[in-house]
């Protein structure tokens, strides 16, 4: 039984694109850090994992988050959940209470 060469080519290209997608996320996640994810009047309430490029000057890039959402979800559930923020294993962009205004301005609050 012969397979259609176009089907085989599409399968190979699709697999290659998928592998590049996954590897690119792993690459940026390995270079990420915890960033402010929830703030209150008295400072940062919770830090969230942010792969490299997801946050710039406290402003989250929601387009990148949507593009990588399936992998980001798995990553934050299994490897970089909020319990890990103070484990000391991962970098954290801590914001002093005196500078919380920068986060408010970046988030448009």
pLDDT tens for 62-105 read 999 999 999 999 999 988 887 777 777 888 888 888 888 888 88
pLDDT tens, position by position, 24-65:
999 999 999 999 988 887 888 888 999 999 999 899 999 999
Helix (H) or strand (E) holding 38: strand 33-40
Phi, psi of 31 (to 5 degrees): -110, 15
Q: Where are the domains of the chain?
A: 5-106
Question: Please, are residues 9 and 40 in contact by the beta-carbon 8 Å criterion?
Answer: no
pLDDT recorded at residue 1? 57
- Enter the pTM of the model: 0.82
| DSSP H stretches of helix in 3-108 | 5-30, 62-67, 69-78, 100-106
């Amino acid at each position: 039984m012969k397979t259609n060469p176009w089907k085989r080519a599409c399968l190979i290209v699709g697999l290659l694109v998928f592998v590049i997608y996954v590897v690119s996320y792993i690459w940026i996640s390995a270079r990420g850090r915890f960033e402010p994810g929830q703030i209150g009047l008295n400072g940062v309430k919770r830090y969230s994992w942010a792969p490299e490029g997801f946050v710039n000057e406290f402003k989250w890039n929601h387009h990148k988050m949507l593009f990588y959402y399936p992998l980001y979800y798995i990553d934050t559930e299994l490897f970089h959940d909020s319990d890990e923020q103070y484990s000391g294993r991962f970098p954290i962009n801590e914001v002093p209470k005196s500078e919380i205004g920068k986060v408010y301005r970046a988030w448009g609050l």
